[in-house]
Structure 1
Amino acid sequence: MTTWRRISPAGRVLLTTVLLTGLTTFMFLPLLALEFTAQGVPATQTGFLVGLLAFCGQGFSLVSGLIVDRFGTRAVLTTGFALRIGGYLLLGAGLGVGGPDGTRLVPLVAGIAAIGVGGSLLGLSVKTLLVTEDGVEPREMLALRSTFVNIGVVAGPALGALVYPLGFGWILGACVLSHLLLGVRLTVRPVRRTAPGPRAPGKGAAERAAGDGWGPRQWLPLCLLGVAYWAIYSQLNVVMPITAERTTGSTVAISVVFVVNGALVVLCQYTLLRHVFRRAQARTLLLVGFLAFALAYAVFIPFTGWFSLFVFVLPVTFAEMLISPSLDEQAVRASSPLRTGLALGTMSALGAVGSLLGSSMGGYLLQTFGDGGDGSGIWPVLVALSLCAALTSFLLPKARAQHG
């Protein structure tokens, strides 16, 4: 891959970190609720703990961005790895791994919180380093990062399912070992200068400097788009599982959607952004992406069953591949080089808000249109929301990316 050869050795280490942390995270994450239930944790506590993990991961991201900008990536990486390792150990202690005492709520809560906050610190610091890689456009690095993340999304659950019969402790052990080795590599041998301060101009520096002039009028539509994206995308976790089961009669239908979605992202996203849409403005990608969202949910108006699911997964994945990195790219270009962490943290925090609003909206739509009916009223609402977001993309300033 041409871009891989242009990336510095430090950048390759960072992408490998994204892959391995994603792989181990998705080894344990899909099995977490199952393990809690198997250990006798009440359903209400299970829901609280799983929700706490998501909240600490995304909700803390704004603070993480400020910390990255203030203290530099080396200190933040060290803290993030330490929190995650400590969190996995506390989680194991709370679940009674290796002991006869059963579950204990306090170490479970502390462990979940440490894993979530540590993941937020790691994710923001690694992403900040990647988008400031010399000689490579932020769009390319974000696309590569997303590809490596989705390899973990696809392979992690399968690997976790293979290891789980040996015991959940083996999965937690793999998480601890991977983070310990990566932590030693990235903190004892830092990947680059990490103290805050002026950065040498590189490719795209002119655009970054121009972004300093962005004010509230320009940031507002970007924030609205960030919330809208996650509100729409979160329906894959709320509305779609129930819809898939009802329309196909199969409980594995939604799993098929996620596997196909992850595989398409791994295979196509980098090529799509690096070659097909190489010269497109980020706001154009956002417009096309939200239109793809509208098309995806419109499929369910005339069609149901397996056919509708397979047609749906293509435009919804296309939307994901365009929108997610484009939001981060716009945020990076709108910020000064010394505020990259804050810009990326802001987009992640908007994701937390959008996911919460989207989950609540999805539940309301299901209750209003789904119970006792065919659910057909859900789709026009999601299509309309997607079209409104597409129109909002026109409010973003025009800014062309430089391409080599």
Structure 2
Amino acid sequence: MKTSSTLRFALIAQCGCNIGFFAVMPLLAHVLATSHALSTSAIALVLSLRTFSQQGMFLIGGMLTDRFGARATLVCGFSLRIVGFLALGFSGTLPWLVLGALCTGIGAALFSPALQVLVSRAGANSARGTAGSFALFNMVGEIGTALGPLVALLLLPTGFALLATGCVLLFAVLAVVAWRVVPPHRTAPSGVRSGRSRPRFSRRFLAFTIFSAINLVGYNQLYLGLPVELHRIQAPGASIAWIFLGISLLSVACQLPLARLGRHLGPGPTLRTGFGLMTLGFGTLALAALSPVLEPWSYLPVGCMVLCFILGHLLVGPTILHLCSQGPEASRGARLGLQASVSGVAVLLTGLVLGPLLEHATHSGVLAALPWALLAVLALLSAAVITHTIPPVAASATAESQLSTTN
């Protein structure tokens, strides 16, 4: 199966972006505390600004991609990421660190929707389809996620500044290749161009973005809630690292087969199955948290939750991106950006609720089960409702695609 040059670039860039990000960001809090002697509140400010600037700006990044084209936003995004990494790697004062955090976040908000648009366009013209192309896109991203910490282990002994410099060179190469490989933006007539700056979203699509957000909300709990559960069952501190290694390996091994399954089932059954698996995983952990830890089975509920959630995540992730990419070409980036921004807001809002609950989840009982029960309810609600919110344009486009591939 042939792969277009733009799709190949999008896949390589996604892998490279994740290598650069996960080589630097997981170590940043430690470096800021030890090398720069920043307070916990200052570190929290830097990290929070990075996350907020990225997720909150996704819609803007998608709209800019629609207006100026993927090539321009990719180069601008990579350039901002370069400035951000330089500020984080070579500055020690809080204002410069805040600037670095903002530049890294906004840079990703520019290049991520642009890469998704490239994948969507290439997938629409391939036998793999958009859902299959997004699955491949997610899989190579997971490879980059796994390789990033290995790069950090190799370069960190030489100093954090050199590590940041290596990642700067990586993004510089990506910027140059993007300018050479990605086709330039085709200028539209002024009337069409002015309409691109004001994308309109139907209520049905807005509802879809809301109910699809539980996918990112649940994934965020692997970082926030899972360590609390491991503390409850008195697991060693290194357990979380092994779990995330297993998640990366599972994602790489299962993403493409599950994407083929999702293409066979269709978007509605795929979304119901995926969110149903998430419900099963969160529900299992909620029931386990009610009872005292039972040796040697203490890891079984955690393993069940992680397995069910990741399988559900691998099913619904490409399907959500595929459905968001369907519709008018002029607002494709805005639709993908809006979905990411709504998911980011959902993570923030649910975090405000789940954070205080998780503080009381370190000992078995109702309070320990409550956060996971709430997540199970949200996943069940998405499983029950989301198929009724699929935009008509996306549903008809998917049906036509499936019909054409079976004839």
Q: Report the TM-score range of the alignment, normalised by the length of the smaller protein.
A: 0.7 to 0.9
Selected match of 1:13 from 6, 9, 19: 9
Is the Cα contact below 8 Å between 1:292 and 1:316 reproduced in 2? yes
Q: Percent identity?
A: 25
* 2:143 matched residue in structure 1: 151
| Aligned mates of 1:126, 1:165 — CA distance in 2 | 33
**Which residue of structure 2 lines up, in the alignment, with residue 325 of structure 1?**
318
Runs of at least 5 residues in structure 1 that lack an aligned partner in the other structure: 95-102, 199-213
Decide which of 296, 301, 326 is 1:308's aligned counterpart. Answer: 301
- 1:129 aligned partner: 118
Distance 2:148 2:383 in 1: 33
Distance in 2, Cα, partners of 1:366 & 1:185? 45
CA distance in 2, matches of 1:228, 1:351: 7
Partner Cα distance (2:371, 2:85) in 1: 39
How far apart, CA to CA, are the structure 1 residues paired with 2:186 and 2:353?
42
Contact kept in structure 1, 2:282 and 2:375, CA below 8 Å: yes
What is the aligned partner in structure 2 of residue 238 from structure 1? 224
2:295 aligned with 1:295: no
C-alpha contact (below 8 Å) 2:120/2:133 kept by paired residues: yes
Of 215, 219, 233, the match for 1:247: 233
Indicate conservation of the 8 Å contact 1:285/1:323, yes or no.
yes
- 1:203 is aligned to none
Measured in 1, the distance between the counterparts of 2:241 and 2:325 equals: 33
The verdict on how the C-alpha distance between 1:85 and 1:298 changes in structure 2, with shifts beyond 3 A counting, is same
Query: Within 5 A, what are the aligned runs for 1:165-314?
Result: 165-187=157-179, 189-197=180-188, 216-274=202-260, 276-303=261-288, 305-314=298-307
Partner of 1:278: helix, strand, or coil? helix
Residue 31 (structure 1) aligns with: 27
8 Å CA contact 1:226–1:354 kept in 2: the answer is no
| Residues 330-355 of structure 1, C-alpha deviations (whole Å, 9 max, x = no match) | 1111x311111101100110121121
Query: Which of 90, 94, 105 is the aligned partner of 1:116?
Result: 105
Distance apart, 1:278 and its partner CA? 2.1
Q: Distance in 1 between matches of 2:86 and 2:287?
A: 50
Distance of 2:137 and 2:169 partners within structure 1: 22
Give 1:215 shift: 6.3
| Offset from partner CA, 1:292-331 (integer Å, 9 cap, x none) | 1111112224445222222222111111101222211111
What aligned pairs does 1:40-55 form with structure 2 within 5 A after superposition? Answer: 40-55=37-52
Offset, 1:373:
4.7
1:238 touches 1:362 (CA, 8 Å); kept in 2? Answer: no
Amino acid at match of 1:114: C
One-letter code aligned to 1:9: S
> Retained in 2: the 8 A contact 1:147–1:269?
yes
Greater fraction of residues in helix: 2
Does the CA-based 8 Å contact 1:69-1:338 persist in structure 2?
yes
Gapped runs of 5+ residues in structure 2?
190-199
Q: Is the 8 A contact 2:209 2:343 kept in 1?
A: no
RMSD in angstroms over aligned alpha carbons?
Answer: 2.0
> How many residue pairs end up in the alignment?
373
Calculate the TM-score normalised by the size of structure 1: 0.87
The alignment status of 1:76 with 2:73, answered yes or no, reads: yes
Conserved 8 A contact 1:288-1:390:
yes
Deviation of the 1:63 alpha carbon:
0.6
* Cα distance in structure 1, aligned partners of 2:207 and 2:219: 18
Q: Is the aligned partner of 1:92 residue 2:78?
A: no
Given the alignment, which residue of 62, 66, 77 partners 1:65?
62
The answer on 1:391 being equivalent to 2:387 is: no
> Could you state the TM-score of these two structures normalised by the residue count of structure 2?
0.86
Shift of 1:196: 4.9
CA distance in structure 2 between the aligned counterparts of 1:380 and 1:196, rounded to whole angstroms: 51
Contact 2:262 2:319 in 1 (8 A): no
Q: Aligned equivalents of 2:45 and 2:349: distance in 1?
A: 17
Instruction: Tell me which residue corresponds to 1:209.
Output: none
